[in-house]
Structure 1
């Protein structure tokens, strides 16, 4: 990443919203080239990764992750014109939704923000997503990864319903499946047939990047 945009990385990592917004506005007004637009997005990616690292180290908390995700969402809206014009490349595609019967989305939304910052094209199906809706979207966009989020213990069974629906539709072998949320574990991952599990967004993003870069 170009050192030219290090201040963007630092502003996001330090949760300095005003500084980040101003830096991104200045960058867009300068009319960045395609390469520079990619560098700006990469700077945001690095900033969000630092936020994730600080969370893992215990210096940031869930509230900080939520705030960082909100800041980043606003930042991506500012960047939208130069991203579209600059042809910023996408690392991969993700289809994600909360498990059937689960109405929680805070963790999912944090993960989405971090995945978008990492360079993924994300298709969010929302909350309480029926298995057939996952199947329909996977057929439509042909993602690299399917994410199923859940906070309730009942979600551990319905996550399996989604994966079984992908199998029955002949789609399971073509995607990696990540399950996420506080109640997930390696045992649950094996039981429902997922490829990986994560209880925090930062480690989940790292796994997804390994899948598409490998």
Structure 2
């Protein structure tokens, strides 16, 4: 049994978390394929992103959508059992040394997981060696360096410089993200791309991962 749920998408966009969870739970119980439910979740998050880009959603709205998505995915994940959707690749993400902000990063993590990526979240205030170790261990296709403070831009440059010294720069694409990032910061740090909000970050990560 499969079917598209306009009700779920509407509830998601209206931040009605209880209705979203109830909808997903019912669809799982009736035997609907988890992949079909995931398609609706992806559409809902895409619509949320469009609302943010058009100015209809505020940052607070985007944060609520991210939290709603997190709760919904917790309900859906067990339904896949051993037949989990094929991973679109690994993404390493973390807030750089000297910065402890993680709201934007956490939204990106949830949205990437909804898109089918395997995300390794390193947390906040992470020195270059943590990113280097994660690259060696997980072999990601993209590394995302996050930070909100102006000082974080310099930490991003140091991290990328160390990744270069470790001989790993050609193995990964690197994107920097945060409210202070721009094209000048990208050039300064040596990153492949930049994003100053979660939605553009998702789009650019997908492009760097060559999945779009």
TM-score class, shorter: over 0.9
1:162 to 2:163 alignment:
no
Between the aligned partners of 2:6 and 2:136, the Cα distance in structure 1 is 39
* Native 8 Å contact 1:31 1:82 kept in 2: no
Q: How big is the shift at 1:3?
A: 5.0
Q: How big is the shift at 1:85?
A: 3.0
Q: How big is the shift at 1:162?
A: 1.2
Where do 1:118-157 residues align within 5 Å? 118-157=115-154
Q: Classify the secondary structure of the residue corresponding to 1:179.
A: strand
Between the aligned partners of 1:104 and 1:149, the Cα distance in structure 2 is 8
Q: CA RMSD in A?
A: 1.5
Where do 1:22-101 residues align within 5 Å? 22-32=22-32, 36-101=33-98
With normalisation by structure 1, the TM-score equals 0.92
Between the aligned partners of 1:198 and 1:24, the Cα distance in structure 2 is 31
* Native 8 Å contact 2:99 2:149 kept in 1: yes
* Native 8 Å contact 2:95 2:123 kept in 1: yes
Between the aligned partners of 2:156 and 2:54, the Cα distance in structure 1 is 29
Q: Equivalent residue for 1:213?
A: 211
Between the aligned partners of 1:8 and 1:72, the Cα distance in structure 2 is 12
Between the aligned partners of 1:135 and 1:6, the Cα distance in structure 2 is 43
Q: Equivalent residue for 1:115?
A: 112
Q: Equivalent residue for 1:12?
A: 12
**Per-residue displacement from partner, 1:84-114 (whole Å, max 9, x unpaired)?**
3332122221100001110111111111121
Unaligned runs of 5+ in 2: none
Q: Classify the secondary structure of the residue corresponding to 1:85.
A: coil
Between the aligned partners of 1:91 and 1:9, the Cα distance in structure 2 is 23
Unaligned runs of 5+ in 1: none
